[in-house]
Structure 1
Amino acid sequence: MQYHGVLTKMKTEIGTPIQYYLVFESDFIHINQLLNKKISIKFIGYQCLACGENKKIYRQGYCYDDFYKQPQVGDWIMRPELSTAHLDVEDRDLAYEKKVQLQPHIVYLANSSNVKVGVTRKTQVPTRWIDQGAHEAIEIVEVPNRYLAGITEVALKDHVADKTNWRKMLKNEIEDADLIAYRDRLKAFIPEEAQEYFIATNKETEIDFPVLKYPSKLKSLNLEKTPVFSGILKGVKGQYLIFEDDTVFNVRNSEGYVVGLTIG
């Protein structure tokens, strides 16, 4: 079977294991059903997720011009502590920023390769954890806006990591951690403005990924350098496709790329 479309991050559904879907404009692929099958990927061109033009993707699916003007890729996305909508202060588009920033946000602990702290909108739990390849996670704080989540994350970074080792995550070099104990220990470092939002009685969420074989030596697929690739799919974890020859492909990092896919 053949498919053609613009890559965006894979959609997911909770299950044992997680169910993955690659969604194109007029079709979708249930990735779990492709395990142990040959997939061929051909790089065709670009389609910016904002302007739709065939312009080289700069970052996060956007061309250079749109990356620096679209509100959905403002600095506050990666650095929530820079959020200003709660002050009625615009960055790029105040209406959009209010819509996203002024809603419940979660500060969480996730264990992908190590225990890390992160921030996401409440509506993105547990999607955010799945995208990071976390096999376990827990909420620490639920606050009413992104700014409070951001300053909480900044405070906790001094006491716990804020990044994932993607290589260890993909090799499944992981250890279970007592996230409840982590949560309780970190409570003392939550800023005063967010202390009342601490979550004291929740449980860990465990996540199971559809992987038949983990890679031992990682080879990262870059479609600009290798425009045609074929391999046997052995698993999906985070936003990565894992192939039998230890090649891994980060779908999310290739958003905005137009590809042709052949199955079998």
Structure 2
Amino acid sequence: MIYEGMLTKMLTENGSPIQYYLVFDNDFLSMNQLLDKKISINFLRYQCLHCSLQKKIYRQGYCYNCFFLIPQAADWIINPELSKAHLGIEVRELAYEIGVQLQPHVVYLANSSSVKVGVTRKSQIPTRWIDQGAHEAIEIVEVPNRYLAGITEVALKSHVSDKTNWRAMLKNDIKDENLAEWRNQLQRFIPEEAREYFLEHNLETNLQFPVLKYPSSPKSLNLIKSPYYEGILKGIKGQYLIFDDDTVFNVRGNEGCVISIAVN
């Protein structure tokens, strides 16, 4: 069977293990069912996620022009402390910014490669943790807008990392942590504006990924340098496909690439 379409991040469904789905315009693949099967990936062309034109992808699945114009790629996406919709101030498109920023957000701790702090919309839990390959996570605060979550993250990342080591995450070179203890130790660093939103009694969430074999020395597949690849799928973690020869493919990192996938 051959499937063709533009890559977007895999959809997920929490379970034991997590279920992964690759969705194209006309095709739908249950990736868990492809474990231990040989698949080939063939890069065909680019297609911007926003304008749909066949233009080279710049960042986040968008072409250069769209990346610097559309609200979905504004600086506050990566740096939530720059959010301004709670002040009625437009950055790129106020209606969009109000819709995204003025809803409940969570600051959390996740253990992917080590303990890190992050921000996401409440509606994106546990999806955000799954996408990061976290095997355990816990909420610290739940606030009414993105700005408060952003300034809390900035305050906490002086005391805990905000980065994931993707190689360690994929190698499963990690240890379990008591995230409730981490949360309680970090409480005193929460900014005054967000202290009333501290979550004191919630429990950590544990996640199970569909991996048959972890790579000992993961090497990333670059579709531009290597437009054709074939291997046996051995696992899925975060947004990565893991193959038998230690090749790993970041699906989200290749959004906007049109590919064909053949299943043998």
TM-score category of the 2 structures, normalised to the smaller one: over 0.9
Q: CA deviation at 1:106?
A: 0.2
Instruction: Quote the Cα distance in structure 2 between the aligned partners of 1:78 and 1:258.
Output: 25
Instruction: Quote the Cα distance in structure 2 between the aligned partners of 1:15 and 1:32.
Output: 12
SS in 2 for 1:100: helix
Q: CA deviation at 1:217?
A: 1.1
TM-score normalized with structure 2 length: 1.00
Instruction: Quote the Cα distance in structure 1 between the aligned partners of 2:229 and 2:70.
Output: 32
Q: CA deviation at 1:39?
A: 0.7
**Which residue of the partner structure matches residue 221 of structure 2?**
221
* CA-to-aligned-CA distance 1:72-121 (integer Å, 9 cap, x gap): 11000000000000000000000000000000000000000000000000
Instruction: Quote the Cα distance in structure 2 between the aligned partners of 1:158 and 1:256.
Output: 34
- The one-letter code of the counterpart of 1:170 is L
**Which residue of the partner structure matches residue 116 of structure 2?**
116
**Which residue of the partner structure matches residue 16 of structure 2?**
16
**Which residue of the partner structure matches residue 69 of structure 1?**
69
* CA-to-aligned-CA distance 1:206-250 (integer Å, 9 cap, x gap): 000000000011111000000000000000000000000000000
**Which residue of the partner structure matches residue 41 of structure 2?**
41
The percent identity for this pair of structures is 70
- The one-letter code of the counterpart of 1:229 is Y
Instruction: Quote the Cα distance in structure 1 between the aligned partners of 2:50 and 2:251.
Output: 18
SS in 1 for 2:110: strand
* CA-to-aligned-CA distance 1:33-92 (integer Å, 9 cap, x gap): 000000100000011000000000000000000000010110000000000000000000
1:189 correspondence with 2:166 = no
Q: CA deviation at 1:254?
A: 0.2
In the TM superposition, structure 1's runs of 4+ consecutive aligned residues that sit over 2 Å from their partners are none
* CA-to-aligned-CA distance 1:108-138 (integer Å, 9 cap, x gap): 0000000000000000000000000000000
SS in 2 for 1:185: helix
Give the alignment's Cα RMSD to 1 decimal: 0.4
Superposed, 1:133-212 pairs within 5 Å as 133-212=133-212
**Which residue of the partner structure matches residue 233 of structure 1?**
233
- The one-letter code of the counterpart of 2:9 is K
* CA-to-aligned-CA distance 1:157-201 (integer Å, 9 cap, x gap): 111110001000000001000000000110000000000000001
**Which residue of the partner structure matches residue 59 of structure 2?**
59
Instruction: Quote the Cα distance in structure 2 between the aligned partners of 1:221 and 1:241.
Output: 10
- The one-letter code of the counterpart of 2:44 is I
- The one-letter code of the counterpart of 1:98 is I
SS in 1 for 2:148: helix
- The one-letter code of the counterpart of 1:23 is V
**Which residue of the partner structure matches residue 105 of structure 2?**
105
Flag structure 2 segments of 5+ consecutive residues without an equivalent.
none
SS in 2 for 1:242: strand
**Which residue of the partner structure matches residue 83 of structure 1?**
83
SS in 2 for 1:54: coil
Aligned residues, how many? 264
Flag structure 1 segments of 5+ consecutive residues without an equivalent.
none
Instruction: Quote the Cα distance in structure 1 between the aligned partners of 2:89 and 2:172.
Output: 43
SS in 1 for 2:12: strand
